[in-house]
Amino acid sequence: MPTRLADRRPEVAVDSLIAGLTPPPLFADVRFDSYRPDPAEPTQAEAAAVLRRFAAELAPPARKGLFRRSPPPAGPAGVYLDGGFGVGKTHLLASLWHAAPSPKAYVTFVELTQLAGALGFARLVTELSGMRLLAIDEFELDDPGDTVLVSTLLARLDEAGVRFAATSNTLPDRLGEERFAAQDFLREIQSMAARFASVRVDGPDYRHRGLPAAPAPRNEAAVVEAAQGAGASLDDFGELLAQLATLHPSRYGALLDGVRRVCLTGVAPVPDQNVALRLVVLVDRLYDRQIELVTSGLQLDALFSAEMLAGGYRKKYRRAISRLVALARLAA
């Protein structure tokens, strides 16, 4: 019998949450030496060189004491990779994390805000203050509240001597002349702006790639058959969405423990933005683990309404579609 994700109630200990702040499985084996910069885009090789130096310069944490303060870092407190999609920023960020000395943490911007909700701000500051490096992938500016939260967190960690690296989340239609720029990022972390080094990573314009065509959904009987193998789950799409609403997003990864193929029947349009944003988080966890996806019902590239794809969270939804399609192709 295949497992039902909708029946799972994962519990994740705080220690496990902190220990799990590592690059996703998809980037577990990347290193600077495996990065292949485009010869036609010199900023890619330059960015790799900057991050290699940054890793070498990371200072050990200051000894803790009642009246001791961490010394200021020898170089910039952080490095910010500014560029569009598909230019290797995450590969470089994960390579920096692997090259950096411990203790260190790697997290996406969304995961960081979720940790603040799960642990509380003060506890999160305590847990991260001993890190030598905090790497934040896909720094987002589409939610002012979350941006202020993370900016405040970085200021507190900066005082403790933590060093940072971050990547941007450029919107597809803001590339080129109107794209997300380093100034936008630095403006949101004004207390630390002077201590961040901005590094451009150029490459092909994401807009010219478009969204991949989704494979045709299967019939329900084929989905049920695909769920009979070991490591497979089988759920009704609506029931799974309802289950996500009962779990803190920090548990979505644990929800997938031991699962290699997710099978969903009755896929239908996502009803509202709250549901859509929870689904985006689950899709990221599926993609991180490269879990196969088999579905019936609506084609995956039609999940989100035209209004959603034109709204402020369109980058998240476009990324989710791209990743869902890639996982469906894995199963095919």
Quick: pLDDT tens for 212-248.
Answer: 578 899 999 999 999 998 999 999 999 999 999 999 8
Q: Are 168 and 311 in contact (CB under 8 A)?
A: no
For residue 206 the two structure tokens come to 């994401």
Number of C-alpha atoms within 13 angstroms, CB side, residue 8? 23
- Of 262 and 20, the structure prediction assigns the larger pLDDT to 262
For residue 289 the two structure tokens come to 């683990």
| DSSP β-ladder status, 163-168 and 261-267 | unpaired
Q: By three-state DSSP, how is residue 59 classified?
A: coil
DSSP 218: B
Helix (H) or strand (E) holding 264: strand 261-267
pLDDT computed for residue 173 by the predictor? 37
- Of 263 and 2, the structure prediction assigns the larger pLDDT to 263
pTM: 0.77
* Residues contacting residue 136 through CB under 8 Å, at least 6 positions apart: 107, 108, 109, 112, 150, 164, 165, 166, 167
* Cα–chain center distance at 205: 21
Task: Tell me: pLDDT of 208 over 50.
Answer: no
- Please state, in angstroms and rounded to a whole number, the distance separating the CA atoms of residues 176 and 187: 19
Q: Are 199 and 167 in contact (CB under 8 A)?
A: no
Task: Tell me: pLDDT of 67 over 90.
Answer: no
Query: Of 92, 84, 97, 106, nearest to 36 (Cα)?
Result: 92
Burial of 198: CB neighbours in 10 Å, binned 0-12, 13-18, 19+:
middle
pLDDT confidence tier of residue 182, bands split at 50, 70 and 90: low
- Please state, in angstroms and rounded to a whole number, the distance separating the CA atoms of residues 248 and 250: 5
% of the chain residues with pLDDT over 90:
55
Residue 290 has φ and ψ, to the nearest 5°, of: 55, 50
pLDDT confidence tier of residue 206, bands split at 50, 70 and 90: very low
Q: Where are the alpha helices (DSSP H) in the chain?
A: 14-19, 42-57, 89-99, 109-119, 121-128, 144-159, 182-188, 220-226, 237-244, 252-255, 273-288, 306-310, 314-331
Please give the span between the terminal C-alpha atoms of the chain, in angstroms, as a whole number. 22
User: In the block, which residue shows the tokens 């092909």?
Assistant: 204
Give me the mean pLDDT over the 174-179 stretch: 36
